Structure 1
Amino acid sequence: MKKLKVQDLIAVGIYTAIYFLLMSVCLLILRFVIPGFHNLFIPAVTALFSGVIYLILLHKVPKFGAITIMGTVVGLFFLISGHFPLAFLPNMLCALAADLILYHTKITAQVKIMVSYIVFSFGLMGPILPLWFMKNAYIDSLIARGKDDAYINGVFAHTTTAMFALCAVAVLVGAIAGLFIGSRLYDKHFRTADQ
């Protein structure tokens, strides 16, 4: 197993920054398009537009650990930016699982890449999972951050079981479509540069 070198870590940092930028742009657009639902659908929309970044990372740094580092950095960003304290764990765990799928399974390459990207994309649900599974603790954290009842009620206005299912299906569809689009973009604009 090849070990990550300094230049690999720099490359991972660059692609993680681009991933952050895409995620931020998606969030900004969603705030205007579907206000009130934007946080719930940011994982799916980010997955839709980030497939090409994932593919570039896999080709530029084809080593175990690169995906884990990217997911961990994203998770730590959630931790230090005031999200619910456990919001960072899904990013780290899903990224590690994606790495393991990609480099320690014997399924075909295309399937490995697709499954690993789907799993990686589910990591972005970390900040919203507590809305359903740790509601009281999440409310306590919002109160501790000085949020009033109106804000808290707005946060939980759409957190139904059906909405959770819709969010999960949206991430799955977004990741599949995102990797399909990303592979087309990669083949057209980046593959020749890697050869």
Structure 2
Amino acid sequence: MNDKKKVLTAKDLITTGIFSVLLLFAAMLTGGPFCAVPTLTFYFPIGAAVLAGPIFMLFISKVPKHGALIIVGALLCILGTLTGMHWGMNFGFLICATIASIIAGVGNFKESGLNLIAYIVYCIGPMGTYFVFFFNKESWISFMLKKGTQQEYIDKMSEVATGTTMLVMVVGTIVVAILSGLLGLRLMHKQFVKAGIAA
């Protein structure tokens, strides 16, 4: 009986699909504007982490099963690939979502501290493309030029690509993820549970 409860059902898969869209929408809503400006694009992960915390926490409450977050990562990876995003971001989503699933799963998706750490790890995913840019710039530029990115955009990115930029990106994303994740946990305990949305 317990084994059956751990298996993803058709309802779980539908819920996972819906939340994948919600997580992507939240990321693009607050992170997308940074991508539109080449000198700010490195801060996309910071913006992407702003609204997704409550959605992430509600999702793992609704589908507290191993594999659900991995599916989210896989769907984001596929969508990113289809829309021409750099493979570093696409696989970053997949890898970090998988690690996040493992972390949250250790506490059976019910331990607030582990769920918060899982969200922080999840938010690191989009940084994959920027890490490639910093550590293998020629490869990144070659790939993105083939995908249609303008040379002028890349040149402006390069002008602000310093160690400080990377540090702000990493630290900023972690800080915002913590705040957004804590907000999500607070809403879970005080609002979602009372409303019967989450258990």
TM-score with structure 2 length normalisation?
A: 0.86
SS at match of 2:80: helix
1:98 equivalenced with 2:100 (yes/no): yes
1:170 equivalenced with 2:172 (yes/no): yes
Which deviations, in whole Å up to 9, do the C-alpha atoms of 1:74-94 show, x marking residues without a partner? 122222211223431111111
Contact persistence 2:70–2:98 (CA under 8 A): yes
* CA RMSD between the two structures: 2.2
1:5 equivalenced with 2:12 (yes/no): no
Contact persistence 1:64–1:103 (CA under 8 A): yes
After TM superposition, give the deviation of residue 48 of structure 1 in Å.
2.2
Larger deviation: 184-193 or 124-133? Answer: 184-193
In the TM superposition, structure 1's runs of 4+ consecutive aligned residues that sit over 6 Å from their partners are none
SS at match of 1:126: helix
After TM superposition, give the deviation of residue 190 of structure 1 in Å.
1.4
2:188 maps to which of 176, 179, 186: 186
Distance 1:27 1:111 in 2: 25
Distance 1:138 1:119 in 2: 23
Amino acid at match of 2:146: A
Q: CA 1:146/1:11 → structure 2, altered by over 3 Å: closer, same or farther?
A: closer
Contact persistence 2:30–2:50 (CA under 8 A): no
Distance 2:7 2:111 in 1: 21
2:76 maps to which of 58, 74, 77: 74
Alignment map for 1:11-22 (pairs within 5 Å): 11-22=15-26
SS at match of 2:126: helix
After TM superposition, give the deviation of residue 145 of structure 1 in Å.
3.4
Q: Could you tell me which runs of 5 or more consecutive residues in structure 1 were left unpaired when the two chains were aligned.
A: none
Over the matched positions of the two proteins, sequence identity in percent amounts to: 24
How many residues align? The count is 192
Q: CA 1:181/1:37 → structure 2, altered by over 3 Å: closer, same or farther?
A: farther
Alignment map for 1:43-192 (pairs within 5 Å): 43-104=45-106, 109-192=111-194
Q: CA 1:53/1:165 → structure 2, altered by over 3 Å: closer, same or farther?
A: same
Distance 2:21 2:149 in 1: 30
Distance 2:82 2:192 in 1: 34
Q: Could you tell me which runs of 5 or more consecutive residues in structure 2 were left unpaired when the two chains were aligned.
A: none
After TM superposition, give the deviation of residue 151 of structure 1 in Å.
2.5
TM-score with structure 1 length normalisation?
A: 0.88
After TM superposition, give the deviation of residue 172 of structure 1 in Å.
0.7
SS at match of 1:190: helix
After TM superposition, give the deviation of residue 25 of structure 1 in Å.
1.2
Distance 1:73 1:146 in 2: 23
1:26 maps to which of 26, 30, 33: 30
SS at match of 2:30: helix
